Amino acid sequence: MATLLDNLVAALPLIACQGGGRAGLTDLGGHCLCAVDRQGAAVEEAEPAILSLCRIAAETGETQSLVDPASGVAQVAVPLEGYVLFVSNVSQIERQNELFNTLKETLPLIARVAGGEAVLFDKDGRRILTADPILGKARVGPGTISEPCGEVMRSGRPSIGPSRSAPGAMAVRIPMGSAFGFGFNNSASVRQKERLLEQVKDARTGKYSWEDIVGSSAELGRVIDLAKKVAPSNSSVMLTGESGTGKELFAQAIHNASARSHGPFVAINCSALPGSLVESSLFGYEEGAFTGAQRGGRAGLFEQARGGTLLLDEISEMPLETQAKLLRVLQEREVCRIGSAKPIPVDVRIIATSNRDVKRRVEDGSFRQDLYYRLNVIELHLPPLRERREDIPEIVARILDRLCRQNGHVAIAIEPRAMERLKAYDWPGNCRELHNVLERAINLTGGGVLEPHHFAGLADDQVSDEPAEGTMQLAGHLAEAEQTVILEALKRNGGRRVETARELGISVTTLWRRLKRMRLEHHVSI
């Protein structure tokens, strides 16, 4: 016949599992007889704190309990006819702590994926940690109580509903046990969409014309001549070129030189919108089309651009699914809002831009070939600044004039040697980078004359601060000697740039530029 001790020992695994930790028995002196964890495995020793609690329970004959407010560990000791049964939830707390730490580490990732804020909150709905898509690091929350989060913890059930962070944003809140929960929303994506749409509203007219395109080089002249020829037509235009070469400036000039100049000019950056928002922004949506849809629905950019021009900036970044729908709109000349089957006629001219090789995107399958041919009726490739260096003085003069008028400076001159420094630099960021460099130089000088040292670090390896002397023949001999020295150093260092640059006493960047000038940058290792 089983004794009380046998029955208690047999029940310990179930008690430990239900208690979320450990269970065991002691004698009346507080000595541990046996203990198991929530999997039923034997535990060699019990914590001193629980044994002390068992002694008190044996002496008083009453159940004793203890909760550590810092850790949340709860312990109970129950006297039972010569024995004391103890239960602890320590394993449950350890699991909760592990889960909390995991969520803490992944909180910034959750925020980026969700496109909004991600938070951890306590049992009362008070924020503990928060992360957003930009900062990329979880930080201590403001400590305010969110009633929806508190309700989630009280009910023990997750919820999906409107977020308090931004109108139209949605939030998910999930309890992760009795101690804490976590939630996330898409508020950043919603606010970003609203900002972009506001920018679109503010830019309904093209501001620039042919006169705003600065430069007299043959390369630029050919592009302008072709652009002027195609501007009066309704054909789609594809503007390609590196970032900062003036693609939107050309798009607006084409619009203003066309019969659509009195219609709207609407621009949207396809790379700035999250993939999930491109479709609703382009085609619009009906009320109730999806969770968080605006009351009354919203017209898309095709509708807003009717009678005018729609600029699809960075078209190569558009998701494939949206590309298929865009192709259908271009073919049928009508659009259906999300959530509606009613077609809406649209009369829009499309100008697309890309700073990537769209043909290569077609070849690797990330851009539809049929859409490429539909958009690329006429292609205009804008040359980078380094291929039209003779235009730099004219561009610099225009930028300086504009900056002086904007900032209230007197006219600023640029020293000839400084201009040579600007002309020698390759300008990977093109006109946009040039504008930035000039604005910084003006702020550093406060006016007066811009000298070479105001552009230190731009092209110190390409042009000297001293006036050029000698002839083209001398320059050729120097270039040949320089190439010989560099090639011999590369040979000695096995083609490794870092070691070669160290031997020559120049930076790796400077070495790369000189190799590029020699057209050897792809023939040596890093």
pLDDT in tens, 2-24: 688 888 888 999 988 888 788 99
54 and 105 co-located in one domain? no
CATH code of 178's domain: 3.30.450.20
Is 229's pLDDT higher than 90? yes
Q: Mapping DSSP to helix (H, G, I), strand (E, B) and coil, where does residue 111 land?
A: helix
Task: Write out pLDDT tens, residues 417-433.
Answer: 999 999 999 999 999 99
371 and 430 co-located in one domain? no
- Tell me if 252 is assigned to some domain: yes
69 and 107 co-located in one domain? no
Q: Are 391 and 250 in contact (CB under 8 A)?
A: no
Q: How many CB atoms are closer than 10 A to CB 1? A: 3
- Tell me if 460 is assigned to some domain: no
Closest to 317 in 3D by CA, of 278, 266, 364: 278
Query: Looking at residue 200, what is its pLDDT?
Result: 55
219 and 313 co-located in one domain? yes
Q: Which position has the token pair 């219609």?
A: 263
378 and 396 co-located in one domain? no
CATH code of 512's domain: 1.10.10
CATH code of 12's domain: 3.30.450.30
CATH code of 209's domain: 3.40.50.300
Q: Report CA Rg, the chain.
A: 35
492 and 363 co-located in one domain? no
- Tell me if 27 is assigned to some domain: yes
407 and 479 co-located in one domain? no
Query: Looking at residue 353, what is its pLDDT?
Result: 95
The span from the CA of 322 to the CA of 283, in Å, is: 10
Structural domain boundaries enclosing 69: 4-88
The values of phi and psi at residue 62, to 5°, are -125, 150
For residue 391 the two structure tokens come to: 């235009």
Task: Write out pLDDT tens, residues 27-45.
Answer: 999 899 999 988 888 887 7
323 and 281 co-located in one domain? yes
Q: Domain tally for the chain?
A: 5
Q: Mapping DSSP to helix (H, G, I), strand (E, B) and coil, where does residue 184 land?
A: strand
Q: Mapping DSSP to helix (H, G, I), strand (E, B) and coil, where does residue 311 land?
A: strand
CATH code of 432's domain: 1.10.8.60
Q: Residue 474 — very low, low, confident or very high, per pLDDT cuts 50/70/90?
A: very low
Query: How far are the Cα atoms of 27, 86, 91 from residue 24, in angstroms, in the given order?
Result: 10, 5, 14
Is 477's pLDDT higher than 60? no
- Tell me if 525 is assigned to some domain: no
What is the average pLDDT across 455-484?
Answer: 55
Q: Residue 471 — very low, low, confident or very high, per pLDDT cuts 50/70/90?
A: very low
**Would you list the DSSP string of 399-461?**
HHHHHHHHHTPPP-EE-HHHHHHHHHS--TTHHHHHHHHHHHHHHHH-SSEE-GGGGTTSSTT
Q: Which position has the token pair 């790379």?
A: 271
Q: Which position has the token pair 């919203």?
A: 298
217 and 331 co-located in one domain? yes
Q: Residue 457 — very low, low, confident or very high, per pLDDT cuts 50/70/90?
A: low
Using the 3D structure, point to which of 136, 166, 189 is the last residue of a domain. Answer: 189
Is 378's pLDDT higher than 50? yes
Q: Residue 462 — very low, low, confident or very high, per pLDDT cuts 50/70/90?
A: very low
**Global confidence as pTM:** 0.55
- Tell me if 196 is assigned to some domain: no
- Tell me if 466 is assigned to some domain: no
Task: Write out pLDDT tens, residues 321-368.
Answer: 889 989 999 999 999 988 888 899 999 999 999 998 999 999 999 999
Least confident residue range of 36-45, 305-314, 469-478: 469-478
Task: Write out pLDDT tens, residues 60-102.
Answer: 999 999 888 777 788 999 998 889 999 988 877 778 888 888 8
Q: Residue 446 — very low, low, confident or very high, per pLDDT cuts 50/70/90?
A: low
Q: Which position has the token pair 């006016």?
A: 447
What is the average pLDDT across 467-490?
Answer: 61
Q: Mapping DSSP to helix (H, G, I), strand (E, B) and coil, where does residue 237 land?
A: strand
Is 525's pLDDT higher than 50? no
Q: Are 421 and 468 in contact (CB under 8 A)?
A: no
In the chain, the amino acid numbered 487 is L
The span from the CA of 193 to the CA of 272, in Å, is: 9
Q: Which position has the token pair 């920018």?
A: 199
Helix, strand, coil share (%) of the chain residues, nearest 5:
45, 20, 35
What is the average pLDDT across 216-244?
Answer: 94
Query: How far are the Cα atoms of 5, 72, 101, 200, 278 from residue 281, in angstroms, in the given order?
Result: 72, 48, 38, 11, 5
Closest to 166 in 3D by CA, of 135, 126, 195, 123: 195
362 and 325 co-located in one domain? yes
The span from the CA of 348 to the CA of 323, in Å, is: 17
Q: Mapping DSSP to helix (H, G, I), strand (E, B) and coil, where does residue 57 land?
A: helix
Is 284's pLDDT higher than 80? yes
In angstroms, how far is the first alpha carbon of the chain from the final one? Answer: 81
Closest to 80 in 3D by CA, of 93, 63, 92: 63
Supply the DSSP symbol for 94. H
Using the 3D structure, point to which of 44, 59, 88 is the last residue of a domain. Answer: 88
- Tell me if 467 is assigned to some domain: no
CA 275, distance to chain mean position in Å, is 12
Query: How far are the Cα atoms of 250, 260, 491 from residue 484, in angstroms, in the given order?
Result: 44, 58, 11
Closest to 51 in 3D by CA, of 82, 84, 81, 5: 84
The span from the CA of 119 to the CA of 106, in Å, is: 11
Query: Looking at residue 235, what is its pLDDT?
Result: 94
Alpha-carbon dihedral 216, 222, 224, 227, rounded to 10 degrees: 180
- Tell me if 119 is assigned to some domain: yes
366 and 487 co-located in one domain? no
Residue-averaged pLDDT of the chain: 84
Query: How far are the Cα atoms of 357, 435, 438 from residue 404, in angstroms, in the given order?
Result: 37, 12, 11
178 and 274 co-located in one domain? no
Using the 3D structure, point to which of 383, 404, 421 is the last residue of a domain. Answer: 383
